[in-house]
Each structure stands twice: as structure tokens, then as C-alpha cells.
Structure 1
Amino acid sequence: MQCDVLIVGGGINGCGIARDLSGRGLGIVLCEKDDLAQHTSSSSTKLIHGGLRYLEHYEFSLVRKALQEREVLLKSAPHIMWPLRFVMPHDRSLRPVWMIRAGLFLYDHLARREVLPASQTVDLRRHPAGTPLKAAYTRGFVYSDGWVDDARLVVLNALDAQARGAAILTRTRCVEARRGPAGWEATLVDVEGRRRAVQARALVNAAGPWAEQFLREHAHQRGTKALRLVKGSHIVVRRLFDHPYAYIFQNPDKRIIFAIPYEGAYTLIGTTDVEHLGPIGQAHIDDGEIAYLCEQASRYFARPVRPEDVVWTYAGVRPLLDDASGDPSAVTRDYLLELDTTGGAPLLSVWGGKITTFRKLAEEAADLLGPALGVRTPGWTEGAFLPGGDLSAYIGAPQRPDQDFERFDAELARRHPWLAPAMRRRWARAYGARVGLLIGDARGPADLGEEVAPGLPEAELEYLVREEWALSADDVLWRRSKLGLHLEPPQREAVERWMAARLDPVHGGLTESPAP
């Protein structure tokens, strides 16, 4: 198998780079040892944000870059990303008002905004976001960022890369990569043990937390950077408030946590910053992290959040560039792209990064690698839709991404009134304009096949297997969707049986804790 570039790693950076390079006419093979987004890229706080707290660490360049990307991303996929307003209750014992206002002023003005409104000060005694809070919190600050379905963002990048000619190989390890003067000779092994030889003109190491290990053990290169592996854990509890705002809470340890509306019936609380010392692919929340998140949330909410309230957890390992910071939360979230052409065929390693800046990272990676391969095609992704993001066939010319989605959902209801509202809304969010691939010629619920679990017909499972690399129930229930959070154990088992009968797969490991 021959290609221009072999990419190792099926997280957001690897899939973003595959998409960009494929769109510039290069032949791409991407291999991922597990499922797409199975590890770090499905374990984020699921925000498209500039990183307000990074201003305190003087990371103005990173914040500006991330702020510039927010609206680019919101416009590219209005079905999986949307604006979100955040409320910061003021705790006078922590940061003073002037400091918060100065930070929000910078946040409002470091990058141009067309969709997201500016920050403001609110009276929490009258604002709906004040209702679930303790009475002591009377003043708050409201600002804008965005929400993203992180795992679906990875899949959409992979779909776009594949549509442009890339080969996406999941459950496939790169066990060996040998560098020559004109190319790389790599050996890939899939989950069933089948071996495949790949000849590539260049290699991209986008293995995330495994990047340093991959270079040393499989690509036989000396690593030049050190990664600091920091675990971020989240808890999910039953819904703590009814309004659409999210919260950002300041903590006495100078960190922050978020409390975010999640999956309709829940609230997502996170994240922690803990040094991860165990196996990279086996990150799990511990009791201390659960207690920490509950304690910090309970400082603000009138109704305490207790460990027994937790219905689900997930944890991921962030591969951060080691900048010698003593505090894990102070380690930079910026990225570094390292192109090495001195030892033969080009090798590009991706160090660090955050989900908000993935598109810019991919564009810069392609700008670096392209000339080394004799390709000088300019970047193209800034104004491009991700798969399903172009809703014009349903609503005409786009206007505002958040309003465009609501018009799309209304039009979907008009065209297919027989779709159950909850499932229609979920499909609209997950698949956008690609929803027609699920509906096909169906004229009623019976045409979608058996309902394998509540709200999950066979037509959707068939689509996910056929189009989106789903090979196990976990792929469907915890990454392509979060249906696992809403289903009872017997219902999740029904999905497992269907997938086993359909595929007889060899299941990969979870990065997320199954719901009790």
C-alpha cells in the first residue's frame, strides 16, 4: 500500500490533519489502534473556547488563536457546535471585580466576533442563573463561548478526509516504521492480527499521549520533546438547573470548574488536573477527584452535590508540552509542530494542543509538510463545512449558525412529521444534513427497522456501521452518541447483541466508565 503521508493517531489532530492534507490532493493513510476519538478526544469538557483562565498565565497568543477559531468552527458544523453563555458568580474572597472585568474585556476584544455576544455584569438575585445558587452570590459575569460534541467532531473530520480520498483504518496499530532517505516503510497490524505494509513519503506522529512513546519504540527516533500527561476527569449528575446557561466556578486553589447543561436531563461537572502516572490508555477517575468536583460545585449550588449523586464519569489524559510548571493546571495548552527532514524522509510530530485549535493546527501542519513533499496548495478549511454542516438544501443560504440549526430542525419536522420529536432532534444534532442517509426512502417508523433500544432503530445502527466505523456497542453508545447515558443496562445489552450478531467484533476497551 502506497501513500504520500501515513498519519498515526485517530484523535482530533490526526483526523484534522488527514482532512486538510487530503483536500490539498495528497494521498493519505490514517491508522488508529482503537476507535476514532476513543481516548483524549472524547474526554474533553466539550467546549469551543478561548480559555479565559489562560489569560492569568499570560498566554495571550493561545487565547487569541482559540478565540479566532470559535466562530470559524461554529459556522462549519452548526449541528454539533453551538454558542453557550457562561455565568461566573463573583466570589469576593478570590479574584477582585476589576481583574475579572479586565479579563473579560480582553476576552471580548482579542478576536473579532460576529455571532457571539459580548460579556456583561448581571444581578444574580434577578437573573435566572442565580436561582440554583446560594444566596450569598449576588453578582455575576456572563460571557460567550461554544459547545461541541467532541467525539462526533473527530468522526466528521475522518468522514471528510475519506470523501477526499484518505484511507481511514481503525483498530489498526502501526507496530513498525522505518525511515529511509526517500520514504517510510511501515507495518500495520489490525485487531485480527492481519499485517499490512505501507510505503509513505512522509510520516505524521499524531499519537497524542503516546506520541513520545511511538517515536521511541516504533519509529526508532529519538524524541526531542517531553510530554506531561495530565488527567482530566468529569462527573455527570442529574440536572441541577433548568435554564440554558453554563457556569464557570472559581475555586480557592485558583483553578476553575464548569457546570454545563448536558444531554437534556443531566449536568456535566469538570474538570480536574492531576498528574497521570499509570498506563496511558487506562485513565479513570478516582474517589479523590469525585470528592473534589462535588466539593467545589457545592460551594456555589444551594443544593449540595454529593458523590452518591454521580451517575457517570469519564477521564482522559491530556498530552501537554512539559514547560516545567509545578502546577499541572498551569502547563501550557498550546501546541508545537516539529518537522524533521534532517534524517531522511519527512517526519512531523504533533506535541500538545487543544480541541478548539485543531483546525488551525491541521492547517499549519499541512503548510509545513506540503513543501517538503513538493506541494504548495494553500489552506482551504477556514470557510469549508464539515460533513452535515451545510444545511442549505433544507434552509437556503446560511445566516447565523445557531438560528440556522433551529430552522433546519423545523424543516426536518415539516418534511418528516412521523419522526418522533426526541429522535428527530437527536438525529438533527448528530448528523445534520447527512440525516437523509439514515432516513432514506422511509415514510414511517416501521421503515427504519426494529427499534433495538428506545429511540435507536436498526437504520441508525446500520448507518453507523456502514459509514462511521462503528464496530462495537461502546462505539455507538458512548462516542457516536451518548445514548448509553439514557438507557438501562438491559437496553444497552440489546445493542451489544445486535452489534455482535451484525459484526462479531473484537471489542476495544472503554476510556469512559459505563453508567451504573
Structure 2
Amino acid sequence: MSSISSITTAHAPQHDMIDLLVIGGGVNGCGIARDAAGRGASVMLVEQDDLAGHTSSASTKLIHGGLRYLEYYEFRLVREALIERDRLLKIAPHIIWPMRFVLPHSKLLRPAWLLRLGLFIYDHLAPNMTLPRTRAVRLQQSSVGAGLKPEYTKGFIYSDGWVQDSRLVALNAMDAASLGADINTRTRLIGATRQATYWEATLEDTETGARRTIKARTLVNAAGPWVAKLLHRTLAVSGNKQVRMVKGSHIVVPRQFDGPQAYILQNPDKRIIFAIPYENDYTLIGTTDIPWTQDPGHVEISGEEITYLCDSFNRYFSKSVSPADVKWTYAGVRPLYDDAAANASAVTRDYVLDLNTDGGAPVLSIFGGKITTYRKLAEHALEKLAPVLSAVSSPGWTASRPLPGGDFQSREFDKLLARLRAKAPYLDKKTAWRLARNYGTRAFDIAGRAAADLGQDFGGGLSEREVDYLMDHEWARTAQDVLWRRSKLGLVLDQAQVTRLDAYMTHRRTAPSVSHVA
């Protein structure tokens, strides 16, 4: 396996004026930056925090069509998402993989015929689906029903996908950088002046306070929960489109059931909750839908939400969970397009692209969207910009190009893992699996040498060499970046280990001379 170069400014746009300034380092912003750079445009992306620092690392981590959206007649969105599900499984088989979902039937809620109809539509709404289709199951006669309460006798099993959401963002940013994009984390747009043919934008380093000014022919406002605020206040662009912020919270508990399957659980309030195998030793339960009007940068789960999620799980499973079992929680704000729906759960998950050219250079704002459709959203965004920005007028190309580390077939993952273990026999089974799942073929850049080359062990199989890789290639700057966004090793490291990791990263970041991963 060939090694890759460290993050540098060698690929940064070297023009007095760039084609595209993308504001926001979530999945939509990084997807747009990647697509535009691959079409030959000069691109800069700025993110005020870390990549995937907010909404894009707080999802339920599913690549799915959205079965429940059929109840709201979102057929176009579900069809597009199902098509994208298959595409993403092919271009990122290391971080996205198929998962079977068990839907127990409750006699008190939706009738079985309605579930069967919805699942039939789900299986056939998009052509040439590759995942196994739905089948009915007698829960008490199947291993997938082993942990469920005895009153649940019938159910259905259908297919969707699982994704390491924040890694998806980092890989899109990596590919964008390899194609020439200039990716800047901890950088905030603090103001922009609109001219006839370009924007003059002022950027601020959020760590040092240093400022610089650049010129861009077009702005893409992919600021997520801040999209409307940035458009109307920072850019002083008028418009009537707004975001509807909805808080979604999750809990992580010790593993509650055996097997690789996940569960989709219907609640009396007609919401659904997922219970999903997580990081081998845990179960992820979520999500909630709570209207949110406060600062989207500081979001936490409430005690009521924890109880709600525990109760939702306990309604179906014989082995109950309580708030005392919760090992970790996370919450994020979904910036949905405000379609005036009365119920937060009914707000559309579709996206709206708002192009404004009034009085000068264009700005494209992204309202809504879901992680599954980020790639298609990026294509649509550039199609919308093509008439006003010739640099992005070439055809879309991202449907088949693997993301970094994804240059293998999904069915070949076990072979990839075996090759990694043969190349690095010093790795324990769990660490080898984690490296293969996080990095795919790029895992050999981390663990393809002698054990001594890995440097110190920070705990949980996290080596100095892996940390260096993440700092050099994936914009990681703090222990939190590594432990909760580039991985989920925050679940296993203790506070002393976290402190030691943070000290190492701080020293490496601030030392006069740093050695990079070869």
C-alpha cells in the first residue's frame, strides 16, 4: 500500500481569487468542496470548529432511505436516499456497511398490513437494490427475538446501512484536499462584502484571532444550524427561508442483545427509536425529536430524554435499562428546512437549495438534508451554481470514486482485515478490526511496519503513529477530535489517558519542528 502525503498548503488555491468559498465543515460542506474540486474549481472550505463538530457527528449513524418518511409521503426523498444508500455502500465499504433491522409488531400501534405495505414500497421504490429484501419473522422462533418480551410474536426484518458519520466527513475533506481544495478548520467567516462579481470575505482563526481577507466568486453557505443567521446577519442577504432546529439525543449503554442485527421500535407517540449494536461492546439507543431554539453549538441531552429512551427500549426488551446504565450520551441539532409542520417529527428531511444573485456575486445556502443524501445534494448544489460559475459546469463524478481507503469491495472486508493482521501481527484482534473499519486500505499507512514504529500506546489500541496520522492527514488537533470524531475511543480511555493524549497532541502541535507520517 502506498503512503499518502501530509496535510500541507501545497494544494491550496494559489489564485488572487478563488472560485468557491464553502462555509461549514459538516457532511454537506465537505461533500460540496470535494465535488467542486474534482471538477477543477479552486475551492476553500472554512469550519469554525472541528470537521463534523456538530450535527454531522450527532446522527443515529444510519445510511437509510428513511422508512418512516413514507408516512409523510416523502417518496422522492426516500427514493433518492435508497439509491444513494447503494452508491455509498460501494464507495466507502470500510465505514459504511449493511445492517439488518428487526421491526417487532405491536398490536397497539400500526397494523401489520400497513407495516407490510410500507416495507414492500421501501423494497421496490428504487430500482436495482442490492441489499436483501424484507421478510416476515416469528420472533419467538428466531434468534433475533431472543431478548424481546414474549408478547411480541411477529415482526419483519429489512435492510439498511450503518455509517461512521464523522469519519464520512473527514474522508470527504481528505479527498477534497487531494484534489486541490484548501481545508481550514478552526476558521470562522466573520464578515463578507458583496461586489458585482465576487465576495470579499474576512476570515478569523478561532485559536489565535489572526485575520485574513480573501476573494471568492461564489459563496456556499453550508453552515448547518447557523445557515439562516449567516445568510441574513453576516452576509446581509434578505430572504424568507428559515431553518427549524430539532434536537436529537442518543444514549449508549452496555451491549443489551446478541447478534449483528439492530431493532426499530415503535412508540405510542408514533415516533420510532433505534437500538443498534455499537462499537462491539455497546448498544446505541436513539433518537429524540425536540424543538430547539437555543444556541446550536451547546446542546446536551436532558434527563427527560434519557428516561424516554430507556422507556422506549424497555417497552420491547425483557432486560431493562435505566439511566444508571448509560455510559455516554450525545445530542445534536438537526437544521431542517422550516416547512411549517406542527410536529417536529413531521418536519421534512428533504433539502432546499437557495441561490441568491441579487445585487452581485452569488451565494448558495443549504437548508436541511440528511447524511444519506449528502453526495446527491452536492451534485444538485453544483448544478444550481453552474449557470453562474463556469468552473463547476463539468459533469458530476462522485458516484463511483471511492473515498480514501475505500478502494476495495464490501465483500472483501474480511480479506482486507486478514491482510492487515498478517502485515501487522502485533495488533490485537479488536484494534486490527477498528483500524480496518476506520481507515480501510489506509490502515496499512498506520500499522504496516514494525510494532516499535507505532510509538507509545495511549490506551485502547490508540498508538502514537495513529495520532500522528490523524493530525497530519485528518485535521485532528485535540484529544476530543481523536476520541469522539475520528474514533469512539473516548468510550474506553480513562481520564489519565485522555490527559496524556491531549498533552502529546498539544506538544506536537506547538513544537518548532514536527516529524510527519511517511
Shift of 1:493: 2.0
SS of 1:387's partner is: coil
- 2:460, 2:492 within 8 Å by CA — same for their partners in 1? no
Equivalent position of 1:50 in the other structure: 65
Equivalent position of 1:513 in the other structure: none
Equivalent position of 2:356 in the other structure: 340
SS of 2:170's partner is: helix
Equivalent position of 2:157 in the other structure: 142
The answer as to 2:418 corresponding to 1:418 is: no
The answer as to 2:321 corresponding to 1:313 is: no
Per-residue CA distance 1:38-65 (angstroms, 9 max, x = gap): 0000000000000000000111111111
Partner Cα distance (2:57, 2:305) in 1: 19
Shift of 1:504: 5.0
- 2:83, 2:129 within 8 Å by CA — same for their partners in 1? no
- 2:198, 2:218 within 8 Å by CA — same for their partners in 1? yes
Equivalent position of 2:13 in the other structure: none
Equivalent position of 1:368 in the other structure: 384
Equivalent position of 1:67 in the other structure: 82
Equivalent position of 2:508 in the other structure: 502
Partner Cα distance (2:332, 2:200) in 1: 31
- 1:71, 1:113 within 8 Å by CA — same for their partners in 2? no
SS of 2:390's partner is: coil
- Correspondences of 1:433-452 after superposition (within 5 Å): 433-439=441-447, 442-443=449-450, 445-452=451-458
Equivalent position of 2:228 in the other structure: 212
Per-residue CA distance 1:315-344 (angstroms, 9 max, x = gap): 000001111111100000000111122321
- Correspondences of 1:76-225 after superposition (within 5 Å): 76-191=91-206, 192-225=208-241
SS of 1:452's partner is: coil
Equivalent position of 2:281 in the other structure: 265
Partner Cα distance (1:272, 1:425) in 2: 31
SS of 1:174's partner is: strand
Shift of 1:439: 2.9
Mean Cα deviation higher: 19-28 or 317-326: 317-326
- 2:87, 2:399 within 8 Å by CA — same for their partners in 1? yes
Q: Give the aligned residue type for 2:405.
A: G
Q: Give the aligned residue type for 1:338.
A: D
SS of 2:21's partner is: strand
Equivalent position of 1:456 in the other structure: 462
Q: How many residues align?
A: 494
- 2:34, 2:176 within 8 Å by CA — same for their partners in 1? yes
Partner Cα distance (2:44, 2:169) in 1: 16
- 1:237, 1:267 within 8 Å by CA — same for their partners in 2? yes
Equivalent position of 1:12 in the other structure: 27
Equivalent position of 1:508 in the other structure: none
Equivalent position of 1:469 in the other structure: 475
The answer as to 2:41 corresponding to 1:39 is: no
C-alpha RMSD of matched pairs (Å): 1.2
Shift >6 Å, 4+ stretches: none
- 2:420, 2:444 within 8 Å by CA — same for their partners in 1? no
The answer as to 2:393 corresponding to 1:379 is: no
Equivalent position of 1:252 in the other structure: 268
Unaligned segments of structure 1, at least 5 residues: 392-397, 506-516
Equivalent position of 1:301 in the other structure: 317
Partner Cα distance (1:340, 1:137) in 2: 53
- 1:176, 1:188 within 8 Å by CA — same for their partners in 2? yes
Q: Give the aligned residue type for 1:286.
A: S
Identity %: 56
Equivalent position of 1:394 in the other structure: none
Shift of 1:446: 1.6
1:404 equivalent among 409, 412, 415: 412
The answer as to 2:504 corresponding to 1:487 is: no
TM-score, normalised via structure 2 length: 0.94
